[in-house]
Structure 1
Amino acid sequence: MDCAEKARDWLCQEEAQVSAHYVIAPDGTVWQLVNEADRAWHAGAGVWGPVTDVNSRSIGIEISNTGSTPFAAKQMDALDDLVAGIMERNAIPPERVIGHSDMAPGRKIDPGARFDWLRLARQGLAIWPEAKGSGDFTENARRFGYTADVPLDTLLHSFRLRFRPNASGPLDDTDRAIMANLANRWPVAAS
Protein backbone atom coordinates (compact mmCIF):
# COMPACT_ATOMS: atom_id res chain seq x y z
CA MET A 1 0.00 0.00 0.00
CA ASP A 2 1.15 3.55 -0.59
CA CYS A 3 0.26 4.73 2.95
CA ALA A 4 1.66 3.26 6.16
CA GLU A 5 -1.41 4.15 8.19
CA LYS A 6 -3.72 2.47 5.66
CA ALA A 7 -1.51 -0.63 5.69
CA ARG A 8 -1.48 -0.68 9.49
CA ASP A 9 -5.25 -0.28 9.66
CA TRP A 10 -5.82 -3.01 7.04
CA LEU A 11 -3.60 -5.41 8.98
CA CYS A 12 -5.87 -4.88 12.00
CA GLN A 13 -9.08 -5.82 10.16
CA GLU A 14 -10.35 -9.37 10.57
CA GLU A 15 -11.62 -9.47 6.98
CA ALA A 16 -8.08 -8.83 5.72
CA GLN A 17 -7.05 -12.29 6.92
CA VAL A 18 -3.50 -10.96 7.21
CA SER A 19 -1.56 -9.42 10.07
CA ALA A 20 1.97 -8.63 11.19
CA HIS A 21 3.79 -8.22 14.44
CA TYR A 22 5.14 -4.83 13.42
CA VAL A 23 4.65 -2.13 10.77
CA ILE A 24 7.29 0.52 10.08
CA ALA A 25 6.33 3.81 8.44
CA PRO A 26 8.69 5.84 6.23
CA ASP A 27 9.09 8.43 9.03
CA GLY A 28 10.42 5.69 11.35
CA THR A 29 7.22 5.19 13.35
CA VAL A 30 6.92 1.58 14.53
CA TRP A 31 3.54 0.09 15.41
CA GLN A 32 3.35 -3.26 17.20
CA LEU A 33 0.16 -5.02 16.15
CA VAL A 34 0.71 -8.51 17.55
CA ASN A 35 2.68 -9.69 20.58
CA GLU A 36 5.91 -11.41 19.50
CA ALA A 37 4.88 -14.58 21.35
CA ASP A 38 1.65 -14.78 19.36
CA ARG A 39 1.12 -15.93 15.80
CA ALA A 40 0.60 -13.33 13.10
CA TRP A 41 -0.56 -14.09 9.57
CA HIS A 42 2.04 -12.04 7.70
CA ALA A 43 3.73 -14.76 5.73
CA GLY A 44 0.87 -16.73 4.27
CA ALA A 45 1.84 -20.07 2.82
CA GLY A 46 5.58 -20.40 2.78
CA VAL A 47 8.49 -22.61 3.74
CA TRP A 48 12.07 -22.11 4.85
CA GLY A 49 14.28 -25.14 5.28
CA PRO A 50 12.33 -27.74 7.25
CA VAL A 51 9.78 -25.17 8.49
CA THR A 52 6.54 -25.62 6.56
CA ASP A 53 4.46 -23.18 8.63
CA VAL A 54 6.50 -19.99 8.72
CA ASN A 55 3.73 -18.01 10.45
CA SER A 56 4.03 -20.20 13.55
CA ARG A 57 7.78 -19.74 13.81
CA SER A 58 8.45 -16.16 12.78
CA ILE A 59 8.08 -12.53 13.75
CA GLY A 60 6.74 -10.52 10.84
CA ILE A 61 7.73 -6.96 10.04
CA GLU A 62 5.91 -5.05 7.31
CA ILE A 63 7.91 -2.12 5.98
CA SER A 64 5.69 0.42 4.27
CA ASN A 65 7.10 0.84 0.77
CA THR A 66 5.69 0.51 -2.73
CA GLY A 67 8.66 -1.57 -3.84
CA SER A 68 9.68 0.94 -6.48
CA THR A 69 11.21 3.57 -4.20
CA PRO A 70 14.19 3.54 -1.86
CA PHE A 71 13.48 2.84 1.79
CA ALA A 72 13.64 6.03 3.85
CA ALA A 73 16.64 6.54 6.14
CA LYS A 74 14.46 6.97 9.26
CA GLN A 75 12.60 3.81 8.34
CA MET A 76 15.82 1.83 7.97
CA ASP A 77 17.15 3.23 11.26
CA ALA A 78 13.95 2.09 12.99
CA LEU A 79 14.24 -1.32 11.32
CA ASP A 80 17.85 -1.69 12.50
CA ASP A 81 16.81 -1.07 16.11
CA LEU A 82 13.72 -3.28 15.88
CA VAL A 83 15.52 -6.25 14.29
CA ALA A 84 18.41 -6.01 16.76
CA GLY A 85 15.96 -6.11 19.67
CA ILE A 86 13.95 -8.99 18.22
CA MET A 87 17.11 -11.00 17.58
CA GLU A 88 18.36 -10.41 21.12
CA ARG A 89 15.03 -11.18 22.81
CA ASN A 90 14.48 -14.37 20.79
CA ALA A 91 18.07 -15.61 20.24
CA ILE A 92 17.70 -15.39 16.46
CA PRO A 93 20.95 -15.75 14.49
CA PRO A 94 21.47 -13.47 11.47
CA GLU A 95 21.06 -16.32 8.97
CA ARG A 96 17.46 -16.71 10.18
CA VAL A 97 16.51 -13.18 9.17
CA ILE A 98 14.76 -13.63 5.83
CA GLY A 99 12.35 -11.78 3.58
CA HIS A 100 8.92 -12.82 2.41
CA SER A 101 10.38 -13.42 -1.05
CA ASP A 102 12.78 -15.98 0.46
CA MET A 103 10.10 -18.17 2.00
CA ALA A 104 7.43 -17.75 -0.68
CA PRO A 105 9.29 -17.46 -4.01
CA GLY A 106 7.01 -16.35 -6.80
CA ARG A 107 4.13 -15.46 -4.50
CA LYS A 108 5.93 -12.77 -2.50
CA ILE A 109 8.40 -10.21 -3.81
CA ASP A 110 8.95 -8.10 -0.71
CA PRO A 111 10.96 -6.49 0.62
CA GLY A 112 12.16 -6.22 -2.98
CA ALA A 113 15.22 -5.25 -4.96
CA ARG A 114 15.46 -1.78 -3.37
CA PHE A 115 15.86 -3.18 0.15
CA ASP A 116 19.38 -2.82 1.61
CA TRP A 117 20.21 -6.30 2.90
CA LEU A 118 23.92 -5.45 2.89
CA ARG A 119 23.28 -2.66 5.43
CA LEU A 120 21.67 -5.18 7.79
CA ALA A 121 24.49 -7.67 7.24
CA ARG A 122 27.16 -5.09 8.08
CA GLN A 123 25.47 -4.71 11.49
CA GLY A 124 25.16 -8.46 12.09
CA LEU A 125 21.40 -8.34 11.52
CA ALA A 126 21.44 -10.51 8.37
CA ILE A 127 24.01 -12.31 6.25
CA TRP A 128 25.84 -11.42 3.07
CA PRO A 129 27.68 -14.07 1.03
CA GLU A 130 30.73 -13.99 -1.16
CA ALA A 131 30.78 -15.34 -4.71
CA LYS A 132 32.90 -18.25 -3.59
CA GLY A 133 32.17 -21.86 -4.39
CA SER A 134 30.56 -24.05 -6.98
CA GLY A 135 28.00 -26.78 -7.34
CA ASP A 136 24.42 -27.34 -8.34
CA PHE A 137 22.43 -24.14 -7.77
CA THR A 138 19.14 -25.85 -6.86
CA GLU A 139 20.74 -28.39 -4.53
CA ASN A 140 22.68 -25.66 -2.73
CA ALA A 141 19.56 -23.49 -2.56
CA ARG A 142 17.73 -26.28 -0.72
CA ARG A 143 20.66 -26.74 1.68
CA PHE A 144 20.62 -23.03 2.42
CA GLY A 145 16.86 -22.92 3.05
CA TYR A 146 15.03 -22.30 -0.25
CA THR A 147 12.84 -25.42 -0.04
CA ALA A 148 9.70 -24.13 -1.78
CA ASP A 149 8.69 -26.32 -4.71
CA VAL A 150 9.04 -23.74 -7.49
CA PRO A 151 10.58 -23.70 -10.97
CA LEU A 152 14.24 -22.69 -11.32
CA ASP A 153 13.42 -19.28 -12.83
CA THR A 154 11.18 -18.43 -9.86
CA LEU A 155 13.82 -19.55 -7.38
CA LEU A 156 16.50 -17.57 -9.23
CA HIS A 157 14.34 -14.44 -9.20
CA SER A 158 13.76 -14.63 -5.43
CA PHE A 159 17.43 -15.34 -4.76
CA ARG A 160 18.47 -12.37 -6.89
CA LEU A 161 15.97 -10.03 -5.23
CA ARG A 162 17.98 -10.55 -2.07
CA PHE A 163 21.56 -11.27 -3.11
CA ARG A 164 21.95 -9.86 -6.65
CA PRO A 165 19.21 -7.25 -7.16
CA ASN A 166 20.76 -5.79 -10.31
CA ALA A 167 21.39 -9.13 -12.05
CA SER A 168 19.32 -10.39 -14.95
CA GLY A 169 19.42 -13.11 -17.55
CA PRO A 170 19.86 -16.83 -17.14
CA LEU A 171 21.50 -18.58 -14.20
CA ASP A 172 25.24 -17.91 -14.27
CA ASP A 173 28.45 -18.85 -12.48
CA THR A 174 28.16 -15.91 -10.06
CA ASP A 175 24.72 -17.14 -8.97
CA ARG A 176 26.13 -20.63 -8.47
CA ALA A 177 29.13 -19.34 -6.50
CA ILE A 178 27.01 -17.17 -4.20
CA MET A 179 24.53 -19.96 -3.55
CA ALA A 180 27.36 -22.41 -2.85
CA ASN A 181 28.79 -19.97 -0.31
CA LEU A 182 25.38 -19.61 1.35
CA ALA A 183 24.87 -23.38 1.51
CA ASN A 184 28.35 -24.04 2.88
CA ARG A 185 28.44 -21.22 5.45
CA TRP A 186 24.81 -21.18 6.58
CA PRO A 187 23.09 -24.52 5.84
CA VAL A 188 19.61 -24.31 7.33
CA ALA A 189 19.88 -27.71 9.02
CA ALA A 190 22.91 -26.49 10.99
CA SER A 191 21.29 -23.40 12.53
Structure 2
Amino acid sequence: MLSFSAVIACSTPKNRVLQANHTPVIRTDTVKINADAVDLPPVTEALEAQQAVDIPVVVTTEDQVREMMRQGINKGADWTETIHYDVRKPNFVIIHHTAQHSLNQTIRTFQLPHTKVSSHYVIGKDGRVVQMLNDYLRSWHAGRSKWGNVTDLNSVSIGIELDNNGKEPFPEAQIGALLSLLDTLKTKYQIPFTNFIGHADIAPTRKDDPSVLFPWKRLAERGFGVWYDESNLLPVPDNFNHVDALRIIGYDVSNLRAAIIAFKRKFIVVDTGETLTEFDKRVLYNLYRRYF
Protein backbone atom coordinates (compact mmCIF):
# COMPACT_ATOMS: atom_id res chain seq x y z
CA MET A 1 0.00 0.00 0.00
CA LEU A 2 1.26 3.48 -0.82
CA SER A 3 2.00 5.41 2.33
CA PHE A 4 1.91 9.03 3.34
CA SER A 5 3.44 10.42 6.50
CA ALA A 6 3.94 13.79 8.11
CA VAL A 7 5.13 15.09 11.43
CA ILE A 8 4.08 18.38 12.95
CA ALA A 9 5.73 19.27 16.25
CA CYS A 10 5.10 22.21 18.51
CA SER A 11 8.21 23.92 19.78
CA THR A 12 6.69 24.77 23.14
CA PRO A 13 6.94 22.22 25.99
CA LYS A 14 3.70 21.09 27.55
CA ASN A 15 4.49 22.78 30.83
CA ARG A 16 4.43 26.16 29.09
CA VAL A 17 0.72 25.85 28.30
CA LEU A 18 -1.44 27.65 30.82
CA GLN A 19 -4.59 25.82 31.89
CA ALA A 20 -7.54 27.69 33.34
CA ASN A 21 -10.26 25.94 35.32
CA HIS A 22 -12.68 24.06 33.09
CA THR A 23 -10.78 25.21 30.02
CA PRO A 24 -9.98 22.65 27.30
CA VAL A 25 -6.28 22.94 26.51
CA ILE A 26 -5.02 22.33 23.01
CA ARG A 27 -2.47 19.56 23.20
CA THR A 28 1.04 20.27 21.96
CA ASP A 29 2.18 16.66 21.53
CA THR A 30 4.04 15.66 18.40
CA VAL A 31 1.42 14.58 15.88
CA LYS A 32 2.27 11.66 13.59
CA ILE A 33 0.02 10.79 10.69
CA ASN A 34 0.31 7.74 8.46
CA ALA A 35 -1.54 7.30 5.21
CA ASP A 36 -2.88 3.96 6.31
CA ALA A 37 -5.26 6.07 8.36
CA VAL A 38 -6.74 7.51 5.17
CA ASP A 39 -9.12 4.56 4.99
CA LEU A 40 -10.38 5.12 8.52
CA PRO A 41 -13.60 7.08 9.17
CA PRO A 42 -12.96 10.83 9.05
CA VAL A 43 -12.54 12.58 12.38
CA THR A 44 -15.70 14.57 11.70
CA GLU A 45 -17.73 11.35 11.49
CA ALA A 46 -16.21 10.11 14.73
CA LEU A 47 -17.10 13.37 16.43
CA GLU A 48 -20.66 13.22 15.13
CA ALA A 49 -20.99 9.68 16.50
CA GLN A 50 -19.77 10.80 19.90
CA GLN A 51 -22.08 13.79 19.93
CA ALA A 52 -25.03 11.51 19.08
CA VAL A 53 -24.64 9.84 22.48
CA ASP A 54 -24.01 13.12 24.30
CA ILE A 55 -20.33 12.50 24.99
CA PRO A 56 -18.51 15.82 25.51
CA VAL A 57 -16.03 16.45 22.69
CA VAL A 58 -12.87 18.56 22.71
CA VAL A 59 -11.39 19.00 19.23
CA THR A 60 -7.64 19.08 19.76
CA THR A 61 -4.85 20.24 17.49
CA GLU A 62 -4.13 16.58 16.76
CA ASP A 63 -7.74 16.01 15.66
CA GLN A 64 -7.68 19.04 13.37
CA VAL A 65 -4.34 18.11 11.80
CA ARG A 66 -5.52 14.54 11.18
CA GLU A 67 -8.64 15.84 9.47
CA MET A 68 -6.64 18.27 7.31
CA MET A 69 -4.25 15.51 6.27
CA ARG A 70 -7.18 13.27 5.32
CA GLN A 71 -8.74 16.01 3.23
CA GLY A 72 -5.43 16.61 1.47
CA ILE A 73 -5.42 13.11 -0.04
CA ASN A 74 -7.25 12.74 -3.35
CA LYS A 75 -8.44 9.14 -3.44
CA GLY A 76 -9.16 9.43 -7.15
CA ALA A 77 -5.47 9.86 -7.96
CA ASP A 78 -2.47 7.56 -7.79
CA TRP A 79 -0.05 8.43 -5.00
CA THR A 80 3.71 8.62 -5.27
CA GLU A 81 5.50 10.80 -2.79
CA THR A 82 7.88 13.66 -3.63
CA ILE A 83 10.79 14.56 -1.39
CA HIS A 84 10.61 18.31 -2.12
CA TYR A 85 8.12 20.29 -0.05
CA ASP A 86 7.75 22.80 2.76
CA VAL A 87 5.17 23.76 5.31
CA ARG A 88 4.03 27.35 5.76
CA LYS A 89 6.98 29.63 6.57
CA PRO A 90 6.18 32.83 8.51
CA ASN A 91 7.60 36.01 7.01
CA PHE A 92 5.91 38.65 9.20
CA VAL A 93 5.28 39.17 12.90
CA ILE A 94 2.13 41.06 13.86
CA ILE A 95 1.96 42.53 17.38
CA HIS A 96 -1.36 43.07 19.15
CA HIS A 97 -2.70 44.06 22.53
CA THR A 98 -5.48 41.83 23.82
CA ALA A 99 -7.93 44.55 24.97
CA GLN A 100 -8.86 42.13 27.75
CA HIS A 101 -8.16 42.00 31.46
CA SER A 102 -5.96 38.97 32.08
CA LEU A 103 -3.82 36.32 30.47
CA ASN A 104 -6.32 33.65 31.51
CA GLN A 105 -9.18 35.53 29.89
CA THR A 106 -7.35 35.76 26.57
CA ILE A 107 -6.40 32.08 26.60
CA ARG A 108 -10.01 31.21 27.32
CA THR A 109 -11.15 33.45 24.45
CA PHE A 110 -8.83 31.65 22.05
CA GLN A 111 -10.24 28.27 23.10
CA LEU A 112 -13.95 29.02 22.73
CA PRO A 113 -15.38 27.70 19.43
CA HIS A 114 -17.60 30.70 18.70
CA THR A 115 -14.90 33.40 18.98
CA LYS A 116 -13.11 32.39 15.75
CA VAL A 117 -9.93 34.19 16.83
CA SER A 118 -6.50 32.95 17.85
CA SER A 119 -2.83 33.83 18.03
CA HIS A 120 0.44 31.94 18.12
CA TYR A 121 1.66 33.54 21.35
CA VAL A 122 0.26 35.43 24.32
CA ILE A 123 2.62 37.28 26.67
CA GLY A 124 1.52 38.15 30.20
CA LYS A 125 2.36 41.27 32.15
CA ASP A 126 4.85 39.26 34.21
CA GLY A 127 6.71 38.13 31.08
CA ARG A 128 5.19 34.67 30.90
CA VAL A 129 5.11 33.46 27.29
CA VAL A 130 2.32 31.05 26.34
CA GLN A 131 2.39 29.45 22.90
CA MET A 132 -1.04 28.41 21.62
CA LEU A 133 -0.27 27.26 18.08
CA ASN A 134 2.67 25.80 16.19
CA ASP A 135 4.55 28.53 14.31
CA TYR A 136 4.02 26.68 11.03
CA LEU A 137 0.23 26.68 11.34
CA ARG A 138 -2.06 29.56 10.35
CA SER A 139 -3.74 31.36 13.23
CA TRP A 140 -6.69 33.74 12.97
CA HIS A 141 -5.26 36.96 14.36
CA ALA A 142 -4.97 39.47 11.50
CA GLY A 143 -8.49 39.41 10.09
CA ARG A 144 -9.31 41.58 7.09
CA SER A 145 -5.99 43.29 6.46
CA LYS A 146 -3.41 44.45 3.93
CA TRP A 147 0.26 45.40 3.97
CA GLY A 148 1.92 46.29 0.70
CA ASN A 149 0.65 43.73 -1.79
CA VAL A 150 -0.12 41.11 0.87
CA THR A 151 -3.84 40.70 1.49
CA ASP A 152 -3.82 37.50 3.56
CA LEU A 153 -1.55 38.31 6.50
CA ASN A 154 -2.77 35.30 8.48
CA SER A 155 -1.11 32.98 5.96
CA VAL A 156 2.34 34.57 6.19
CA SER A 157 2.62 35.82 9.75
CA ILE A 158 3.01 34.94 13.40
CA GLY A 159 0.60 36.70 15.75
CA ILE A 160 1.72 37.84 19.21
CA GLU A 161 -0.82 39.13 21.73
CA LEU A 162 0.29 41.24 24.70
CA ASP A 163 -1.92 41.09 27.79
CA ASN A 164 -2.96 44.75 27.91
CA ASN A 165 -6.33 46.50 28.01
CA GLY A 166 -5.20 49.15 25.53
CA LYS A 167 -5.02 51.97 28.08
CA GLU A 168 -2.14 50.93 30.32
CA PRO A 169 1.66 50.94 29.94
CA PHE A 170 3.43 47.77 28.86
CA PRO A 171 5.48 46.43 31.82
CA GLU A 172 9.22 45.97 31.49
CA ALA A 173 8.97 42.21 32.10
CA GLN A 174 6.48 41.90 29.24
CA ILE A 175 8.56 43.93 26.78
CA GLY A 176 11.70 42.04 27.77
CA ALA A 177 9.98 38.72 27.08
CA LEU A 178 8.67 40.07 23.76
CA LEU A 179 12.15 41.15 22.64
CA SER A 180 13.55 37.74 23.50
CA LEU A 181 10.78 35.99 21.56
CA LEU A 182 11.21 38.32 18.56
CA ASP A 183 14.92 37.60 18.50
CA THR A 184 14.21 33.86 18.39
CA LEU A 185 11.62 34.19 15.62
CA LYS A 186 13.72 36.56 13.52
CA THR A 187 16.73 34.25 13.66
CA LYS A 188 14.81 31.02 13.20
CA TYR A 189 12.73 32.13 10.21
CA GLN A 190 14.98 34.86 8.75
CA ILE A 191 12.19 37.43 8.99
CA PRO A 192 13.18 40.84 7.52
CA PHE A 193 13.40 43.59 10.15
CA THR A 194 10.88 45.71 8.23
CA ASN A 195 8.25 42.97 8.64
CA PHE A 196 7.73 43.43 12.38
CA ILE A 197 4.56 45.51 12.44
CA GLY A 198 1.38 46.14 14.41
CA HIS A 199 -2.24 45.17 13.94
CA ALA A 200 -3.17 48.82 13.35
CA ASP A 201 -0.63 49.01 10.51
CA ILE A 202 -2.35 46.26 8.54
CA ALA A 203 -5.96 47.06 9.48
CA PRO A 204 -6.08 50.83 10.04
CA THR A 205 -9.83 51.16 9.51
CA ARG A 206 -10.61 48.58 12.21
CA LYS A 207 -7.80 48.36 14.74
CA ASP A 208 -5.64 50.56 16.94
CA ASP A 209 -3.39 48.00 18.60
CA PRO A 210 -0.89 47.96 20.01
CA SER A 211 -1.72 51.27 21.66
CA VAL A 212 0.23 54.54 21.45
CA LEU A 213 2.03 53.47 24.64
CA PHE A 214 3.82 50.65 22.84
CA PRO A 215 7.63 51.25 22.51
CA TRP A 216 8.13 50.93 18.75
CA LYS A 217 11.34 52.97 18.88
CA ARG A 218 12.88 50.54 21.36
CA LEU A 219 11.96 47.58 19.16
CA ALA A 220 13.49 49.25 16.10
CA GLU A 221 16.71 49.86 18.01
CA ARG A 222 16.87 46.11 18.58
CA GLY A 223 16.24 45.32 14.91
CA PHE A 224 12.49 44.76 14.91
CA GLY A 225 10.68 47.29 12.75
CA VAL A 226 11.64 50.77 11.57
CA TRP A 227 12.08 54.19 13.17
CA TYR A 228 13.10 57.57 11.86
CA ASP A 229 16.43 59.32 12.42
CA GLU A 230 15.46 62.03 14.89
CA SER A 231 18.72 63.91 14.30
CA ASN A 232 18.30 64.18 10.54
CA LEU A 233 14.78 65.36 9.70
CA LEU A 234 15.40 67.13 6.41
CA PRO A 235 12.95 69.55 4.80
CA VAL A 236 10.50 67.82 2.50
CA PRO A 237 11.05 68.42 -1.25
CA ASP A 238 8.29 70.20 -3.15
CA ASN A 239 7.64 67.11 -5.27
CA PHE A 240 7.35 64.72 -2.29
CA ASN A 241 4.13 62.71 -2.51
CA HIS A 242 3.09 61.66 0.99
CA VAL A 243 0.39 59.31 -0.30
CA ASP A 244 2.90 57.38 -2.40
CA ALA A 245 5.32 57.30 0.55
CA LEU A 246 2.70 55.79 2.86
CA ARG A 247 1.81 53.22 0.21
CA ILE A 248 5.46 52.28 -0.43
CA ILE A 249 6.07 51.81 3.30
CA GLY A 250 3.16 49.36 3.29
CA TYR A 251 -0.01 51.18 4.35
CA ASP A 252 -3.28 50.62 2.53
CA VAL A 253 -4.10 54.14 1.32
CA SER A 254 -7.53 53.29 -0.07
CA ASN A 255 -8.74 54.98 3.11
CA LEU A 256 -6.13 57.72 3.38
CA ARG A 257 -7.52 59.18 6.61
CA ALA A 258 -7.19 55.81 8.40
CA ALA A 259 -3.68 55.26 7.01
CA ILE A 260 -2.51 58.68 8.24
CA ILE A 261 -3.96 58.11 11.71
CA ALA A 262 -2.29 54.68 11.95
CA PHE A 263 1.03 56.19 10.85
CA LYS A 264 0.79 59.01 13.41
CA ARG A 265 -0.26 56.72 16.26
CA LYS A 266 2.90 54.72 15.68
CA PHE A 267 5.51 57.36 14.84
CA ILE A 268 4.20 60.71 16.12
CA VAL A 269 2.23 59.53 19.19
CA VAL A 270 1.57 62.96 20.73
CA ASP A 271 -0.68 63.98 17.84
CA THR A 272 -2.90 61.35 16.25
CA GLY A 273 -5.07 63.59 14.10
CA GLU A 274 -5.94 62.91 10.48
CA THR A 275 -3.81 65.69 8.97
CA LEU A 276 -0.07 65.48 8.31
CA THR A 277 1.78 68.47 9.73
CA GLU A 278 5.10 69.68 8.37
CA PHE A 279 6.87 67.72 11.12
CA ASP A 280 4.86 64.59 10.30
CA LYS A 281 5.85 64.88 6.65
CA ARG A 282 9.51 65.17 7.61
CA VAL A 283 9.23 61.98 9.66
CA LEU A 284 7.51 60.20 6.77
CA TYR A 285 10.11 61.46 4.29
CA ASN A 286 12.92 60.31 6.58
CA LEU A 287 11.44 56.81 6.87
CA TYR A 288 10.87 56.65 3.12
CA ARG A 289 14.47 57.63 2.32
CA ARG A 290 16.02 55.57 5.10
CA TYR A 291 14.40 52.20 4.49
CA PHE A 292 12.43 52.14 1.26
TM-score by length of 2: 0.61
Q: Tell me the equivalent position of 2:140.
A: 41
Contact 1:136 1:176 in 2 (8 A): no
Q: Is the 8 A contact 2:121 2:129 kept in 1?
A: yes
Deviates more, 1:117-126 or 1:22-31: 117-126
Name the Cα RMSD after superposition: 1.4
SS in structure 1 of the partner of residue 117 of structure 2: coil
Is contact 1:47-1:148 (8 Å) kept? no
When structure 1 is superposed on structure 2, of 153-162 and 25-34 the one drifting more is 153-162
Q: What is the aligned partner in structure 2 of residue 136 from structure 1?
A: 241
Distance 2:218 2:119 in 1: 23
The number of aligned residues is 186
Contact 2:265/2:272 (8 A) holds in 1 = no
How far, CA to CA, are the matches of 1:175 and 1:113 in structure 2?
Answer: 16
CA contact 1:105–1:148 (8 Å) conserved in 2: no
- Do structure 1's residue 80 and structure 2's residue 80 form an aligned pair? no
Cα 1:132–1:11 change in 2 (3 A) is farther
Aligned mates of 2:253, 2:144 — CA distance in 1: 10
Counterpart Cα distance in 1 of 2:126 and 2:253: 34
Show CA shifts across 1:61-103 (max 9, x none).
Answer: 0011111110011100100101111111111121110000000
Deviation at 1:11, TM superposition (A): 1.3
Which amino acid in 1 is paired with 2:252?
Answer: T
Q: Is 1:177 the equivalent of 2:282?
A: yes
Match of 1:96 in 2: 195
User: Offset of 1:126 from its aligned partner?
Assistant: 2.1
Contact 1:46 1:148 (C-alpha < 8 Å) held by counterparts: no
The answer for the alignment partner of 1:58 in structure 2 is 157
SS in 1 for 2:197: coil
TM-score (norm 1): 0.92
| Structure 1 residues without counterparts, runs of 5 or longer | none
User: Larger % of strand: which?
Assistant: 2
8 Å contact 2:148–2:247 — kept in the other structure?
A: yes
Q: Is the 8 A contact 2:243 2:253 kept in 1?
A: no
Aligned to 1:116: 215
Residue of 165, 168, 177 corresponding to 2:269: 165
Which structure 2 segments of 5+ residues have no match?
1-99
Give the superposition deviation at 1:106.
2.2
